[in-house]
Structure 1
Amino acid sequence: MLNLTRPDGASEPGDFHLSRRTAVSMFFAGYALAAVAADAAPVTTPADGLVIEEVLIPNGAAKPLPAYVARPAGKARHAAVVVVNEIFGVHDYIKDICRRLAREGYVAIAPEFFYRSGVDRPALTDIKQIIPIVQQAGIPQVDGDLKATTDWLKGQRFARPAAIGVTGFCWGGSVAWRAAMIDPDVKAAVAWYGQLKPLLGRAGELHAPVLGLYGALDQGIPQTDVEAMRAAVKAAGKQAEIVVYPDAPHGFHADYRDSYREADARDGWARLLRHFRAHGVA
């Protein structure tokens, strides 16, 4: 049930907040069934001391954009990070990343970019069913939803509007790169193994510094693309650092999958925190 705080419609920042006490969750409970490893022991971050909310963000569509939010309790304003999911949507791994960021003092928000399909992606077990849904989410639509999210953050009493970052994983890694190109409210971005080839010609559009985290054993992102992006960024005079982990495959941060590499994931996370803090997202 959507709780509106005012009878004349939802026009105040809090009007699109859902109460966890009265609402059924909008998000899948569990890990993406198409990718979770049988012997996985994923990181689980407690929510004590945090405020967990599910919100609906106005984005000009007939139905607003659902998002999961984790933030520190209290009345202070905090820097914010938009967390962009993999192809599986918002499931327990993405929610946990939000809670990890919240425990570092951030407002973390994970929009459900694929909600228009009406399909619960994490519940699907066949990757062949998931890909067409992802393909329906075109770049203009996704970039528009991201901008709607940063606009929403700027209107919240708990967020600092001049301190917004973006991080994304796999599919979301490419979105993080684009966010540093198309959204002036984004001050820094961290891309985990996002595709680079479609972005090579757009390096000159970067306005915010990007940290890219990649695996040398990634079968879907060749090192030639990594080197090409490094060269493109340098030629454009833009700011981006790309770190390559020699023994890491694609998805090395995903602690619910066989691809997880704990040491590289921890190092990448420490770099993420340093990157955000060095560029005003703190």
Structure 2
Amino acid sequence: MQLDTRRSFLQASLLTGFALAVQPVMASTIQTDAAGLDTGWVKIGELPAFQARPNNASGPLPTIIVIQEIFGVHEHIQDLCRRLAKLGYLAIAPELFFRQGDPRTFTDVNLLIKELVSQVPDAQVMKDLDAVAAWAAQNGGDPARLAVTGFCWGGRITWLYAAHNPKVAASAAWYGRLTGAPSANNPVHPVDIAKQLKSPVLGLYAGKDQGISLESVEQMRQALKRQAQPFKLVIYDEAGHGFNADYRPNFHPAAAQDGWKTMLAWFKQFGV
């Protein structure tokens, strides 16, 4: 991607709004205000990232890296950052597809996956997340209280990053794919690296998920039993994939609310 294209992407990212592929959004969409918060876009090297933190915070803040869905850091992901900042966290969400393109501009989900998402190498993502963690530690975050959470595509990445970075204190993966065929960009999947986890991971899954089978969740559970890190897998029987996405028809309020509380308790349990 040329430098001017990157600059255009950052300028576009400064605007709020939802990705084209998910519009129109549902009336259930949650909108969190920025009162009492410092929010906005930063650049980590060339990587754009949205950050939110409480105003006038004293001392280093517990930090949560928020990993996007396939739709990028659109309004929903920004809102999740604001929700976490209201609770006292430094929340930061990097645009991890930045080098390959802008997911907001796609109107067709299948085309988005084929032409953009599948082109993003896991190794690139791990390196970018390392840069985000380092930036947070140098910009008001507490490196000893670092957590990661991710949704859908970001849920899978959350598992991988928990096996990659020993400095992460705890993670929460929301309906992230666990198994799959290896490829050049995705050589391993969470079930393949379960024994390599370096910190506790919470997995939040849906009983009616059409893309992530309960069999694969059970396969992951068995793999996790053969490693030393604490883990917890929660299945919401009546929910479908993306149950926390309040802007989409598959939003399941009860599962979303319980998952959010469970995630926060998980982070507190491990000091974040």
TM-score by length of 1: 0.86
Unaligned regions of 5+ residues in structure 1, if any?
1-22, 59-63
> Which residue matches 2:204?
213
How far 1:237 moved relative to its partner? 2.9
> Which residue matches 1:50?
37
How far 1:161 moved relative to its partner? 1.4
How far 1:37 moved relative to its partner? 4.7
Matched, 1:194 2:176: yes
How far 1:32 moved relative to its partner? 2.1
Q: Output aligned runs, 1:1-282, within 5 Å.
A: 24=11, 26-37=13-24, 39-58=26-45, 64-76=46-58, 77-117=60-100, 119-131=101-113, 132-156=115-139, 158-197=140-179, 198-281=189-272
How far 1:33 moved relative to its partner? 2.2
For 2:90 and 2:108, the matched residues in 1 are separated by 33
For 1:101 and 1:279, the matched residues in 2 are separated by 17
> Which residue matches 2:6?
none
Provide the secondary structure at the position in 1 that maps to 2:116: helix
Provide the secondary structure at the position in 2 that maps to 1:243: strand
Provide the secondary structure at the position in 2 that maps to 1:115: coil
- On the 8 A contact 1:28/1:92 being kept in 2, the answer is no
- On the 8 A contact 1:40/1:258 being kept in 2, the answer is no
- On the 8 A contact 2:68/2:154 being kept in 1, the answer is yes
For 1:238 and 1:247, the matched residues in 2 are separated by 29
- On the 8 A contact 1:84/1:172 being kept in 2, the answer is yes
For 1:138 and 1:48, the matched residues in 2 are separated by 37
For 1:254 and 1:84, the matched residues in 2 are separated by 14
Unaligned regions of 5+ residues in structure 2, if any?
1-9, 180-188
How far 1:30 moved relative to its partner? 1.3
- On the 8 A contact 2:19/2:71 being kept in 1, the answer is yes
How far 1:75 moved relative to its partner? 4.0
- On the 8 A contact 2:208/2:238 being kept in 1, the answer is yes
Do the aligned partners of residues 183 and 38 (structure 1) sit closer, same or farther apart at CA in structure 2, a change above 3 Å counting? closer
Amino acid at match of 1:208: S
For 1:181 and 1:171, the matched residues in 2 are separated by 16
For 1:97 and 1:273, the matched residues in 2 are separated by 13
> Which residue matches 1:3?
none
Provide the secondary structure at the position in 2 that maps to 1:178: helix
For 1:28 and 1:227, the matched residues in 2 are separated by 41
1:137-157 CA distances to partner (integer Å, 9 max, x unpaired)? 11100111111110111111x
% identity of equivalent residues: 43
- On the 8 A contact 1:28/1:123 being kept in 2, the answer is no
Do the aligned partners of residues 27 and 175 (structure 1) sit closer, same or farther apart at CA in structure 2, a change above 3 Å counting? farther
For 1:263 and 1:30, the matched residues in 2 are separated by 25
For 1:38 and 1:256, the matched residues in 2 are separated by 5
How far 1:38 moved relative to its partner? 5.0
1:81-108 CA distances to partner (integer Å, 9 max, x unpaired)? 0000000101000000000000010000
For 1:164 and 1:96, the matched residues in 2 are separated by 20
TM-score by length of 2: 0.89
